[in-house]
Amino acid sequence: MGGRRLHGRGALFDTDPAGLAPRLVGLRPHAHRSTSYEHPGELPLVVLSGARGLGKSAVLGELRDAYKGHTPVALIDCEHTEFAAPPSGRPAEAWSPVSQALLVIAEQLAEPVTGAGRIQFPRLMSGLVAVAAGGWGDADSERIRREVQRILLLNESGSWVTGFAGRWAGRVAAKVVAAATGTGPLLSAAVEATLESLSDGFAGRRHQRASSWYRDYPNAGDNPQRGLILLSGHFRADGTSREHAERHLVRALLADLTDAYTGVLPRMKRLGRPLVLIDNAQTDPGPGLVEAVLRDRSEGVADQVAFVAAVRGEGRPALRNAVRRALPEVARGSDWAPDPGSASSRALLVSLPPLSPDDTLHIVDAVCSDLQVPPQLPHATHRLTGGNPLGIALIAESAAQNLPDASSLGELLTADLRVHPEHDGRPAYLELLDRLVPPDRLDELTVLAAAHDHDSACALADALLPEDFGPADVRALQTRLVREGLPEVPGRFVGDPFVRTLLLLRLHHRDTDHGQWRKAHETLVDHYADPADDPVRYRLHHELALGGTESAVEYLRDTFATLPTSTWLKSLRFIASAPYFHAHDADGRDFTGRDDRRAAVALGLTDADHEPPEGVDSALHLRIRRLLYAVWQLTDPLALPDQTVSQRLRFELEQLSNLRPAGNALLWRASRDWPVDALAGRTLHIPDDEEGEA
């Protein structure tokens, strides 16, 4: 494909054979060359779904670049401030996110493309003038002129000249302003002036049809002026009445586009379908636009516009019966067919998968092409991010800016990253969190990321968050994370391991003495203090995060011969998954330097200085201690796996297998699997207990 390459997204953009986008648009990307339609009749409204950072916005941006200038294209971001509130001076009763979106979309679609001139939008223009006129009761003539000229330019056939309204638009604006500021009824006068100018200014049948289009508005009585007045009244009424009016405005946009592609001559000039791209469609005006299109299509109101929207998560009520596919499944065909009785089945929900380890390798190599990259960095980056495209891209950029001074992933995340050359840098993990979690809940999530379930989250909230953030808020926040596409994982309040790691990193660096970090983990140590609790490993996990290893070694040593081997291995893996952001001294305090002593302990270099407790098997004690540190280092998502430590891990597990005949097979298999898993950036696999335990 031409243009910039989006790794792992070929199912959308490939040309030979054609991916999903060219099959829907009917054009090859970055070329004015036609390709066969997959759906020549009714086509699906494609919705790209996934959590933050999976590249939905990047895909929409690439689609715009691939087709801009070749077919009409519009891209809006529903989270942009222009859709949040009316412009200064315009009352809310005469404005909505949907009406604003339709204006912005039409302005972009109107631009000339190869072989064809501007598209005109007389139906939409008339409807938007009627909506705007509903708010002109006490407006001055200059505000009316400013608002109406922008709308009227949707029907201008000439080129857009910055700062000047088109000739026709200027004349009509003067008439509308005069009518609106006259002595008669404001709304009807403005509508009448608009329709008269539309009929008088164009002789073609297309514009004559457009000027009479609103005669079919419900209860218009075959009178287009009455239809527009009713539409304006419904819009001002808000609620379901406004939704009804907005749906007709969406229909007006699509009818104007259909007109532009009707007739022998226009069809010969215009190749492919117009393309409308809606980013963050979970936010207004996204739901209104998407539901209006789906509902009309389900009721037989046809159009030939390729819509591609992007939403966070998948649990949207309007998409309840959407046909669902993973991206690789649509590479050669979508196998989409709507249910006649369901509007939402007109949507094709396509989930964007994470990138592969190979994609990660190629991205890091491309960004760091002139640098000596540590060989384990790409695989460690994939392990940390889970294939999150945004995470991979920003970590690669941090490496390009900070190697070789910062080499571990932890150092690359805490190093300053300059996203824009003209701006000062800030820590990479903060740049990532700005884009990966809800910004209004960043402080709460920073604390709750250490939790494992609702109860432990409530304990943290009680200790570290404001008094008004209670159990109901904890549940609401966890529900929100799931709704936004983050996975639910038993034992983790924040299910996505990459996001959780970034949040814990922010917790650790929130104050210079790491006070909140320590209080959070001390709170959870107390929360899991009851010896009767089955998950004693949770307490040990948080003690280890504070630098206390003695209890973990004692527990793993004393249960080695009694717990089922698979359970013992799971406990070891979980306890050693404790976050490690600084080296700790013998008293559990943080060092200020970058020293990581885990490898030295795992390799036995500190055995001589460590005195096992009296009355225990000192050889077993030291072996368990070395093993704990080895797993802790090798599974740390912020550290590069150490080949020497992985070899020691294999040796220690192999020796333990000789000490426990009943669990010999499981321990021996773990000694083979775990070092390979660790170096490959995979979760340590627990062998199935097929042989049983004595």
**pLDDT category, 681, cuts 50, 70, 90?**
confident
pLDDT of residue 5: 64
| pLDDT band per the 50, 70, 90 thresholds, residue 684 | very high
Side-chain-side CA neighbours of 291 within 13 Å: the count stands at 17
| Interatomic CA distance for residues 172 and 195, integer angstroms | 10
Confidence band of 162 (pLDDT split at 50, 70, 90): very low
Q: What is the mean pLDDT of residues 368-389?
A: 93
Instruction: Give CA–CA dist 267/71, Å, rounded.
Output: 12
pLDDT, residue 169, reads: 67
Tokens 């990321």 map to which residue?
449
pTM for the predicted model, two decimal places:
0.90
Q: Which of 4-8, 627-631, 661-665 has the lowest mean pLDDT?
A: 4-8
Q: Is the pLDDT of residue 393 over 80?
A: yes
Report the C-alpha dihedral over residues 11, 13, 17, 18, rounded to 10 degrees. Answer: 110
* Average pLDDT, integer, range 641-647: 94
Give the model's confidence band at 153: pLDDT under 50 very low, under 70 low, under 90 confident, else very high.
confident
The residues near 295 (Cβ < 8 Å, ≥ 6 apart) are 247, 343
Residue whose pair of structure tokens reads 């509007």 in the numeric block: 343
Which of the four pLDDT bands, split at 50, 70 and 90, describes residue 167?
A: low
Over residues 453-482, mean pLDDT: 96
Residue-wise pLDDT tens digits, 295-334: 999 999 999 999 999 999 876 777 999 999 999 999 999 9
pLDDT attached to residue 206: 62
Instruction: Give me the mean pLDDT over the 580-595 stretch.
Output: 58
For residues 443 and 165, the model is more confident at 443
Name residue 102's beta-bridge partners: none
Q: Which is more confidently placed, 5 or 228?
A: 228
- The answer on pLDDT for 445 being more than 50 is yes
Q: Per-residue pLDDT for 32 more than 50? A: yes
Quick one: DSSP state of residue 688? Answer: P
pLDDT at 189: 80
Whole-number Å distance between alpha carbons of 672 and 649:
9
Among 288, 277, 308, 262, residue whose Cα is nearest residue 73: 277
Q: Residue 267 pLDDT > 50, yes or no? A: no
pLDDT at 163: 38
CA atoms of 179 and 175, how far apart (whole Å): 6
What is the share, in percent, of the chain residues with pLDDT greater than 90?
71
Q: What does the mean pLDDT of the chain come to? A: 89
Peptide bond just before 285 cis, omega within 30 deg: yes
State yes or no: pLDDT of 459 exceeds 70: yes
Given this model, what pLDDT does residue 1 score?
35
- Confidence band (pLDDT; 50, 70, 90) for 27? very high
Most confident of 148-162, 273-287, 330-344: 273-287
Question: 650, 684 in Cβ contact below 8 A?
Answer: no
Residue 688 CA neighbour count, 13 Å, CB half: 1
The per-residue pLDDT for 311 is 95
| pLDDT above 70: residue 200 | no
**DSSP string of 488-518?**
PBTTBSS--HHHHHHHHHHHHTSSTT-HHHH
| pLDDT attached to residue 13 | 93
| Confidence check: pLDDT of 588 > 50 | no
**Is 49 in contact with 311 (CB distance < 8 Å)?**
yes
Nearest C-alpha neighbor of 560 from the set 545, 548, 572: 572
Q: How far apart are the C-alpha atoms of 438 and 473, rounded to whole Å?
A: 14
690 pLDDT band, cuts 50/70/90, is very low
Q: Which of 84-88, 404-408, 519-523 has the lowest mean pLDDT?
A: 404-408
Q: How far apart are CA 206 and CA 120, in angstroms?
A: 10
Q: Is residue 576 within 8 Å of residue 631, measured between CB atoms? A: yes
Mean pLDDT over residues 455-477, rounded?
97
Residue 512 has pLDDT above 90, yes or no: no
pLDDT over threshold 80, residue 586: no
Half-sphere exposure of 183 (CA within 13 A, CB side): 0
What the block records as the tokens of 475 is 């549940």
* Exposed e or buried b per residue across 320-359, where buried means at least 16 C-beta atoms within 10 angstroms of its C-beta: ebbbebebeebeeebebebeeeebbbbbbbbbbebbebeb
Residue 182 has pLDDT above 90, yes or no: no
Q: Quick one: which of 282, 283, 284, 302 has its CA closest to 293? A: 302
Interval 546-559 mean pLDDT: 95
Distance CA 446, CA 566 (A): 32
- Sorted by sequence, the CB contacts under 8 Å of residue 691 that are 6+ apart come out as 665, 666
| 376-380 contact pairs (CB < 8 A, 24+) | 376/640, 376/641, 376/679, 377/407, 377/409, 377/640, 379/641, 379/679, 379/680, 379/681, 380/409, 380/637, 380/639, 380/640, 380/641, 380/681
266 compared with 572, residue with greater pLDDT: 572
Helices (H) and strands (E) in the chain, counts: 30, 8
DSSP secondary structure, 372-395, as one string: ---TTHHHHHHHHHTT-HHHHHHH
266 pLDDT more than 50 = no
Contacts 24+ apart (CB under 8 A), 491-496: 491/452, 491/453, 491/574, 492/452, 493/448, 493/449, 493/450, 493/451, 493/452, 493/453, 493/454, 493/456, 493/457, 494/445, 494/448, 494/449, 496/51, 496/386
Instruction: Answer yes or no: are the C-beta atoms of 453 and 491 closer than 8 Å.
Output: yes
More confident residue, 185 or 564: 564
